[in-house]
A and B are shown apart, each in its own frame.
Chain A
Amino acid sequence: MIAIENAALTFNAGTPNENKIFEAFNLTVKKGEFVTIIGSNGAGKSTLFNLLAGTVMPDAGRIVLGGKEVTKAPEFKRARTIGRIFQDPLAGTASNMTLEDNMMVCLKKGFKGLRISLNQKKREFFKEQLRFLDMGLEDRLKDNVGLLSGGQRQALTLLMMVLSRPELVLLDEHTAALDPRNAEIVERLTTHFVTEYGLTTLMITHNMQQAIDLGNRLLMMDAGEVVLDICGEKMQDLTVEKLVAMFSKIRNKKFTNDEALLSR
């Protein structure tokens, strides 16, 4: 279970650039939920991920991951139970290292000792995993990751993230920088891994249709608050039009379909 309780966060407090992101933010996510998050620019979606991952610390409030309080835990410690993928396909892999070396680094989380673990058995295991991606990567274990395309790298990042079976998966618009074909492949892989391993997942997206299709719970954020929280049966008959209508009603603001799709 993941919980954020009364989290408050202000950037540049006490300066003319003061920027209040959260006042008293609350969110609870149950184990195995696949939550998609939409919201306009500046709504606090990425900051929410940063709070969970430990990239930024809240000014007040509590953060609980898997039943343990982690409010003060540094990013690298929390990362042992979190798998996070960024929009930039280059962010999850080391370009100047080979595929097998990258996979070896990501296989187990935590401090790495002086053991040589990469052997023939591991290579076979990696090949088997890569074969599932269906991108021909299983024959390129010795190639530098820098030679792969953005789509291949993001698929690889996804695969490597899953290897350690994280308790919480954070997907930060991970298909937004890919071309439509690769975006679709990565999207399909995401659904597969999340359902196969029952991963608790939060996914930020700007694509409303994707948010409706992929998740079993949908959050809409605006100005540091969750303004819509839809789950269960209501998800079944949700459409983009209904979402837009609901938003306008709540916030009395114009929030067009296009704006949601195009804004970053």
Chain B
Amino acid sequence: MIEGIFVEGLIYGIMALGVFFTFRILDFPDLTVDGSFPLGAVIMAMAIQQGIGLIAGILLAFSGGVAAGVVTAIIHNKLKVPHLLAGILTMTMLYSINIRILGNRANLPLMRKETLLTKAVAFTDGTLSETWTLLLFFILVVLVIKVLMDLFFHTDMGLTFGAMGSNTQMVISQGVNPATYKVIGVGLSNGLVALSGAFAAQYQGFADVNLGQGIVVSGLASVMLGEFLIRSNRISLLTLRVIIGAIFYKAIMFLGRFYGYTIHLTPNDLKLVSGILIIGALVITQMKKPAKGGK
């Protein structure tokens, strides 16, 4: 059971890393996520069903996410639409697109199909139990993504992203077009989110176009939980705490699902719980502020 929490936390941690990139580093509250997460899931599911190949499916899912993010950023840049509205537009359009990708279906089961996960389980068959294999698999996947992301934020481009979130004028003064960077940043972020969706579909054994409902909120809750646990300005710790935050978030949701009945909580109440979690986090940060004696 505890392994399940970790696995889910790691899968959703990839999505939370994407949310962290847009919300925290780019300062671009991007709601495309609610559409790009199921986009990744449906692309992966279709790739599996059509026998396109697992690696190809993952790459397609990632590219699909990037494309979705790019669309949002371009709507925002070219039409001077606020970020939130640009994201909502793309997210809404993606709902129809996702159904199209699934061949006019709202969901697609992946029962008895070969996925990356069944492959991993077959690989360690006999030496490790299925749950531990999955845990190990996702630790590896997330570690690779985390290290790549850390490296990315040490490049000149990554540093510029960091500066842009805190001071756009400074980046313009360096001869950098913030619009271009928004396209790259929101694109990469949604690529990660779609990747997360692709893994979620394989883990759950189905893809559903409604998979993404409220996913931004859970991602943001994970990011905020992480911020309570570790305070730092080092990027390696910032990404680590997002992943830890995602695992904590899943643990809280798990507790809500299994022990919530004692206070008459049903799984339908979990979105309310996520929202309250974020509000709580915001309230605590607000209260902490004057104590630190500054902005």
Contact = CB atoms under 8 A, between A and B. Distances in A.
Real binding pair: yes
Interface of A: 74-77, 79-80, 82-84, 86, 90-98, 101-102, 104-106, 108-118, 144
B268 interface: no
Contact of A116 (B154, B163, B174, B180): B154
B50 interface: no
A194 B254 CA distance: 63
Interface string B151-173: 11011110110110111011111
B166 A96 contact: yes
B78 to A, nearest CB: 14
Nearest to B162: A97
A101 B175 contact: no
A112 B170 contact: no
Contacts of A109: 174-175
A76 B176 CA distance: 6
Interface residues of B, number: 25
Given A96-B233, A97-B163, 15 more contacts: A79-B175, A91-B170, A95-B167, A96-B165, A97-B233, A102-B163, A104-B159, A105-B160, A105-B171, A109-B175, A111-B175, A111-B176, A115-B156, A116-B155, A118-B154
Residue of B162, B163, B175 most packed against chain A (CB within 10 A): B175
Contact of B175 (A76, A96, A116, A117): A76
Given A94-B166, A97-B162, A79 B157 contact: no
Given A101-B162, A144-B233, A94 B170 contact: yes
Contacts of A114: 152, 155-157
B25 to A, nearest CB: 10
Contacts of A92: 167, 170, 173
Contact of B157 (A83, A96, A112): A112
Given A91-B167, A92-B170, A101-B162, A76 B177 contact: yes
B163 A94 contact: yes
B224 to A, nearest CB: 16
B159 A112 contact: yes
Contacts of B171: 105
Contacts of A108: 156
B260 interface: no
Interface of B: 151-152, 154-157, 159-160, 162-163, 165-167, 169-178, 180, 233
A97 B75 CA distance: 29
15 contacts: A77-B175, A82-B173, A91-B167, A94-B163, A95-B166, A96-B162, A96-B233, A104-B159, A105-B171, A112-B176, A113-B155, A113-B156, A113-B157, A116-B151, A116-B154
Contacts of B169: 86, 91
B276 to A, nearest CB: 28
Nearest to A161: B173
A106 B155 contact: no
A80 B175 CA distance: 5
A93 B170 contact: yes
A104 B156 CA distance: 7
A105 B170 contact: yes
A182 B154 CA distance: 33
Given A76-B178, A104-B159, A105-B159, A97 B154 contact: no
B178 A93 contact: no
Contact of B173 (A79, A96, A111, A113): A79
A207 B178 CA distance: 35
A112 B160 contact: yes
Contacts of B178: 76
A75 B167 contact: no
B104 to A, nearest CB: 40
